[in-house]
């Protein structure tokens, strides 16, 4: 009898240890909540100036219900999770997978960036380039827009930014809201570097010494954005700058 009790206790302890390890093995930056959440995001989809219908009951068609779903035809995405919630669970692309509709950095439904038009996404009024990888937050206003392609005559403001150890030159950039900007990033340092505009989804690739990478973007609203190199230790060493949108 005592042997049976000991074996039972060992099994219970083993299960408890496994559960603890499984809950803590996810790195902290990936964890949104350990005790569930109930968030809402407002999604609008506009194609050539026409608002698209988002059906009611997406994700509720059969049991078990999906934690990301819609209730009514009111453009509200409901995120209702219990237990551990990770960033990957809240990516916008998850909603479109449940809806069984196409959405990526290039396409919304059957419309893809090309001669017909271009795709862009605004998060709370600011252009964002993460598209299906965007991690939704409570009270987000998400706008997916497919519009006619910009005229080839639209002027592009071109800025060259040089990265070294550990600085950008120039470290302060001013542009106009709605202006199309092209940043040519040159790494003239001895280490690998990149340039990331914080909170916008805009970033260059990480490039070797002597290499160049180019990014193009438009910020529709005024504000000040920080940019930095994300290689560990570089930001702390002073490799930062400011992008001022007037």
CB 173 within 8 A of CB 145: no
CB 175 within 8 A of CB 181: yes
Quick one: pLDDT at residue 238? 95
CATH number of the 156-245 domain = 2.60.40.420
Exposure string over 49-65, b if 16+ CB within 10 A, otherwise e = eeeeebeeebbeeeeee
For the chain (length 246 residues), average pLDDT per consecutive 10? 61 62 56 96 95 95 95 95 96 97 96 92 94 97 90 76 96 92 95 94 94 92 94 96 94
Nearest C-alpha neighbor of 27 from the set 82, 75, 84, 105: 84
Exposure string over 28-48, b if 16+ CB within 10 A, otherwise e = eeeebeeeebebebebebebe
Quick one: pLDDT at residue 10? 65
Q: Which of these CATH numbers, 2.70.98, 2.60.40, 2.170.130, 1.10.40, describes 29-147?
A: 2.170.130
Nearest C-alpha neighbor of 114 from the set 79, 146, 149, 82: 149
Residue 156: other Cβ atoms inside 10 A: 11
Residue with tokens 């009270």: 139
Q: How many CA atoms does the CB half-sphere of 44 hold within 13 Å?
A: 12
Quick one: pLDDT at residue 26? 46
Domain boundaries along the sequence of the chain = 29-147, 156-245
Residue with tokens 């219900």: 65
Question: Distance from CA of residue 225 to its chain's centroid?
Answer: 16
Residue with tokens 């002597």: 210
The H or E element containing residue 92 is helix 92-99
Quick one: pLDDT at residue 234? 97
Quick one: pLDDT at residue 2? 63
């Amino acid at each position: 009898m005592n042997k049976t009790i000991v074996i039972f206790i060992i099994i219970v302890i083993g299960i408890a240890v496994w559960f603890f390890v499984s809950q803590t093995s996810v790195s902290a930056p990936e964890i949104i909540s350990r005790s569930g959440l109930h968030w809402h995001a407002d999604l609008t989809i506009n194609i050539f100036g026409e608002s698209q219908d988002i059906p009611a009951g997406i994700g509720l068609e059969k049991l078990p219900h999906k934690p990301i779903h819609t209730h009514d035809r009111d453009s509200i995405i409901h995120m209702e999770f219990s237990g551990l919630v990770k960033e990957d669970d809240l990516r916008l692309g998850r909603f479109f997978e449940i809806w069984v509709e196409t959405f990526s950095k290039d396409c919304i439904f059957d419309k893809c960036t090309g001669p017909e038009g271009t795709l862009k996404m605004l998060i709370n009024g600011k252009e964002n380039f993460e598209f299906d990888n965007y991690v939704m937050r409570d009270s987000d206003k998400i706008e997916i827009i497919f519009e006619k392609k910009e005229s080839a005559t639209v002027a592009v403001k071109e800025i060259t930014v040089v990265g070294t150890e550990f600085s950008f030159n120039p470290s302060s950039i001013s542009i106009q809201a709605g202006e199309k900007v092209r940043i040519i990033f040159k790494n003239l340092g001895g280490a690998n570097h990149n340039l990331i505009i914080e909170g916008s989804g805009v970033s260059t690739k990480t490039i070797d010494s002597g290499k160049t990478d180019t990014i193009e973007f438009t910020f529709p609203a005024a504000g000040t954005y920080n940019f930095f190199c994300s290689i560990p230790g570089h930001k702390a060493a002073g490799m930062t700058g400011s992008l001022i949108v007037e």
